[in-house]
């Protein structure tokens, strides 16, 4: 695949007129961040406390307060006490104080002088360009003392607070306000070691063994698995091409029979609203509003796990359709947002952006847009719940890796800033669009429509195949799981690995009449991806007893 042209989503003149203001803006924008920061004192020393409130714009103070959902917390979460050692940090701000208190090692014994990282220069975002023209950002050991940075290794590599570093809390708070602007006053962000950990913290904070939580009928298997160990099983809600079906959610909750289920009515709902894993479905704005209204009706806590939020793509147009419209090269037209404002406005609204009650816990992750190995993300919810989750961090993971935090800070805050990060997201979005299009075109070419169907995903990394198992020779003779295994193995025999739908059952013992397989267009190179789909098509033909396609 030739490297695509760098994407440059300029903050155009229109955007400036719309969003920036010499006086107080209505809400925080990319251009308003410098002004906001100029008004606040930033303190980011060793184990410094830095809560979101210090980094939010004044406009938040005009919003109403959230409801208080602490009554939903488990005994475990309510029992946690603040760490006395972390509390003692308050004394350290007194002038002339000598600390012989905390067991923080001296940074003199960190065997690292600096960390230097090659990152994209300007808009040169492709891998080959980053390699050829890398811009080096360097984190020194004592940059803060030397006044050259707001963060350095002497701080990042020492112990920190359960919120994560003030440097990163500031950045994610600003980003969250720019992109989502939660409609209540007392929202806050806490850094996490990734959304897998954050979701498990939420399970432990809101559910006890024997409780249920609500999920899509096909759901992210680590979330289901995390629950299984805790004895907190999922109730799967039926899905359509936009994910969870509100009427079924309402039906399940309205008719919950505590005696028959031997469990209280569930109140925790887990969603991946954008580019859902495994189905690739994306909930539109209307769908989200309906589900949020049901969350209000049934008083739910709604966990929105959004690793793929920025991998929202333009509508897919089949090359056949495009060709018939005179697009001679056969590739789908992918109109691209002209500027940041258009990019942000074009995103499907998040649950946190419509969360007037404070009942949403949004999980953000760098895994799909920067790198999974950063093991760094954040969550956003009302400050009292944040405080409890932060206490959980304190006695478990403590905080994300200081290497991760320092490198992300250098890239996101000092090198890119919010605007250029959004440009990067626009680039990634375009890349994944192209990958999706490649896979979809291969599917149209190689997969017989009579054996499998799929919906072009509007976001994410996944394509979800519904297998026409009723046409399978073993239909009626074998169980659905047996047919799935047979087809899966036929694909393996063709040296291609897909994921089985049954791996994602929210309720392993539930009714699942259909066979599904999941493919990702995230990982393989273009040629391998097309070849993998060709092999999958052949495997289906073999499994269904049809003649194999000739090489083309």
105-124: contacts with a copy of itself (CB under 8 A): 105-120
Stretch that binds a copy of itself, among 19-27, 52-60, 250-258, 515-523 (CB under 8 A): 515-523
What distance in Å separates the CA atoms of residue 208 and residue 454, rounded to the nearest whole number? 38
Which of 94, 259, 477, 550: binder of a copy of itself (CB under 8 A)? 94
**Which x/- pattern, by CB under 8 A, does the window 323-362 give for a copy of itself?**
----------------------------------------
Which of 23, 61, 81, 325: binder of a copy of itself (CB under 8 A)? 81
Which of 458, 533, 539, 540: binder of a copy of itself (CB under 8 A)? 533
Of 292 and 310, nearer to a copy of itself (C-beta) is 310
Which of 6, 54, 134, 481: binder of a copy of itself (CB under 8 A)? 134
Count of CB atoms situated within 10 Å of the CB of 301: 25
Find the Cα–Cα–Cα–Cα dihedral 543, 544, 548, 552, rounded to 10°.
Answer: -100
Of 403 and 475, nearer to a copy of itself (C-beta) is 403
Stretch that binds a copy of itself, among 50-58, 323-331, 390-398, 474-482 (CB under 8 A): 390-398
Verify binding: residue 501, a copy of itself, rule CB under 8 A: no
b/e for 228-246, b at 16 or more Cβ within 10 A? eebebbbbbbebeebbbbb
- Pick from 184, 196, 203: which is nearest to 384 by CA? 184
Which of 130, 317, 356, 474: binder of a copy of itself (CB under 8 A)? 130
Q: 45: which 2 tokens?
A: 């020393």
Which of 396, 470, 479, 510: binder of a copy of itself (CB under 8 A)? 396
Of 53 and 531, nearer to a copy of itself (C-beta) is 531
Verify binding: residue 524, a copy of itself, rule CB under 8 A: yes
DSSP structure string for 327-383: -TT-PPP----SBHHHHHHHSPPPTGGG-SSS-EEEEEESTTTT-GGG--EEEEEEH
The footprint of a copy of itself on residues 400-419 (CB under 8 A) is 400-407, 411
Parallel/antiparallel/unpaired status of strands 452-453 and 212-216: unpaired
Verify binding: residue 298, a copy of itself, rule CB under 8 A: no
Q: 344: which 2 tokens?
A: 């942000």
Q: Alpha helix (H) ranges present in 164-241?
A: 166-179, 195-206, 221-230
Which of 131, 261, 297, 345: binder of a copy of itself (CB under 8 A)? 131
Stretch that binds a copy of itself, among 175-183, 313-321, 445-453, 514-522 (CB under 8 A): 514-522
Which of 368, 436, 468, 472: binder of a copy of itself (CB under 8 A)? 368
Q: Contact at 8 Å (CB) between 362 and 180?
A: yes
**DSSP letter (8 states) at residue 548:** P
Verify binding: residue 545, a copy of itself, rule CB under 8 A: no
Which of 5, 65, 264, 371: binder of a copy of itself (CB under 8 A)? 371
Which of 40, 43, 70, 99: binder of a copy of itself (CB under 8 A)? 99
Site size toward a copy of itself (CB under 8 A) is 121
Q: 549: which 2 tokens?
A: 């396609």
Which of 184, 256, 475, 503: binder of a copy of itself (CB under 8 A)? 503
What distance in Å separates the CA atoms of residue 159 and residue 533, rounded to the nearest whole number? 48
The footprint of a copy of itself on residues 215-254 (CB under 8 A) is 221-222, 225-226, 228-231
What distance in Å separates the CA atoms of residue 197 and residue 305, rounded to the nearest whole number? 12
Residues facing 505 on adjacent strands: 218
Which of 23, 328, 523, 551: binder of a copy of itself (CB under 8 A)? 523
DSSP structure string for 115-148: EEEEE--TT--SHHHHHHHPEEEEEESSTTTTTS
The footprint of a copy of itself on residues 418-477 (CB under 8 A) is 424, 428, 431, 461-462
Of 146 and 251, nearer to a copy of itself (C-beta) is 146
Verify binding: residue 367, a copy of itself, rule CB under 8 A: yes
Parallel/antiparallel/unpaired status of strands 377-382 and 360-365: antiparallel
Q: Contact at 8 Å (CB) between 135 and 18?
A: no
Phi-psi region of 56 (alpha: psi -120 to 50; beta: other; left: phi over 0): beta
What distance in Å separates the CA atoms of residue 389 and residue 393, rounded to the nearest whole number? 6
Positive or negative CA dihedral for 536, 538, 539, 545? positive
Can you tell me whether residue 388 is helix, strand or coil? Answer: helix
Which of 21, 83, 318, 455: binder of a copy of itself (CB under 8 A)? 83
Of 92 and 317, nearer to a copy of itself (C-beta) is 92
Which of 16, 48, 54, 85: binder of a copy of itself (CB under 8 A)? 85
**DSSP letter (8 states) at residue 477:** T
Give the N- to C-terminal CA distance of the chain in Å, as an integer.
20
Of 239 and 294, nearer to a copy of itself (C-beta) is 239
Question: Can the peptide bond before residue 278 be classed as cis, meaning omega within 30 degrees of 0?
Answer: yes
What distance in Å separates the CA atoms of residue 536 and residue 442, rounded to the nearest whole number? 10
Q: 162: which 2 tokens?
A: 């359960």
The footprint of a copy of itself on residues 19-78 (CB under 8 A) is 75-77
The nearest distance, CB 145 to a copy of itself, in angstroms, is: 13
The footprint of a copy of itself on residues 264-283 (CB under 8 A) is 277
**Which x/- pattern, by CB under 8 A, does the window 166-205 give for a copy of itself?**
---------------------------xx-xx--x-----
Which of 317, 397, 542, 549: binder of a copy of itself (CB under 8 A)? 397
Q: 302: which 2 tokens?
A: 């709604």
């Amino acid at each position: 695949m030739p490297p695509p042209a760098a994407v440059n989503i300029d903050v155009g003149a229109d955007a400036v007129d719309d969003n920036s203001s010499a006086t107080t803006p209505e809400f925080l924008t990319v251009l308003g961040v410098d002004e906001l920061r100029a008004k606040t004192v930033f303190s980011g020393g060793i184990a410094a406390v830095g809560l979101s409130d210090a980094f939010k714009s004044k406009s938040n103070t005009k919003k109403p307060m959230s409801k208080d959902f602490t009554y939903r917390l488990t005994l475990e979460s309510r029992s946690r006490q603040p760490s006395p050692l972390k509390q003692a940090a308050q004394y350290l701000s007194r002038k002339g104080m000598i600390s012989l208190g905390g067991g923080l090692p001296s940074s003199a014994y960190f065997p690292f002088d600096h960390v230097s990282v090659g990152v994209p220069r300007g808009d040169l975002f492709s891998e080959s360009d980053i390699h050829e023209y890398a811009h080096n950002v360097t984190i020194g050991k004592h940059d803060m003392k030397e006044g050259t940075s707001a963060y350095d290794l002497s701080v990042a590599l020492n112990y920190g607070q359960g919120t994560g570093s003030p440097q990163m809390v500031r950045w994610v708070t600003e980003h969250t306000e720019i992109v989502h602007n939660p409609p209540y006053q007392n929202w806050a962000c806490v850094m996490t070691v990734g959304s897998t950990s954050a979701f498990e913290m939420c399970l432990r904070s809101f559910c006890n063994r024997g409780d249920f939580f609500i999920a899509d009928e096909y759901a992210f298997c680590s979330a289901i698995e995390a629950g299984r160990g805790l004895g907190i099983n999922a109730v799967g809600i039926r899905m359509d091409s936009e994910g969870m079906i509100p009427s079924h959610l309402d039906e399940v909750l309205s008719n919950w029979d505590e005696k028959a289920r031997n469990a209280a009515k569930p109140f925790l709902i887990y969603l991946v609203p954008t580019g859902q894993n495994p189905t690739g479905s994306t909930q539109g704005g209307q769908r989200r509003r309906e589900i949020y209204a049901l969350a209000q009706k049934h008083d739910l806590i709604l966990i929105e796990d959004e690793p793929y939020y920025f991998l929202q793509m333009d509508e897919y147009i089949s090359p056949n359709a495009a060709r018939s419209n005179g697009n001679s090269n056969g590739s789908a037209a992918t109109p691209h947002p002209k500027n940041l404002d258009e990019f942000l406005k074009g995103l499907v609204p998040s649950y946190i952006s419509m969360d007037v009650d404070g009942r949403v816990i949004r999980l953000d992750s760098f895994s799909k847009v920067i790198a999974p190995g950063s093991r760094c993300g954040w969550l956003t919810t009302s400050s009292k719940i944040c405080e409890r989750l932060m206490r959980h961090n304190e006695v478990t993971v403590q905080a994300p890796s200081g290497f991760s935090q320092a490198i992300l800070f250098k890239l996101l805050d000092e090198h890119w800033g919010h605007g250029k990060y959004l440009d990067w997201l626009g680039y990634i979005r375009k890349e994944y669009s192209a990958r999706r299009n490649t896979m979809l075109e291969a599917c149209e070419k190689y997969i017989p429509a009579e054996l499998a169907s799929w919906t072009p995903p509007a976001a994410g990394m996944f394509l979800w195949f519904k297998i026409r198992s009723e046409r399978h020779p073993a239909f009626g003779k074998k169980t659905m799981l047996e047919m799935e295994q047979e087809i899966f193995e036929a694909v393996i025999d063709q040296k291609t690995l897909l994921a089985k739908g049954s791996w994602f059952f929210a309720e392993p013992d539930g009714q699942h009449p259909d066979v599904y397989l999941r493919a990702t267009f995230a990982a393989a190179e273009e040629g391998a991806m097309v070849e993998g789909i060709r092999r999958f098509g052949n495997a289906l033909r073999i499994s269904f007893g049809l003649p194999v396609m000739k090489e083309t």
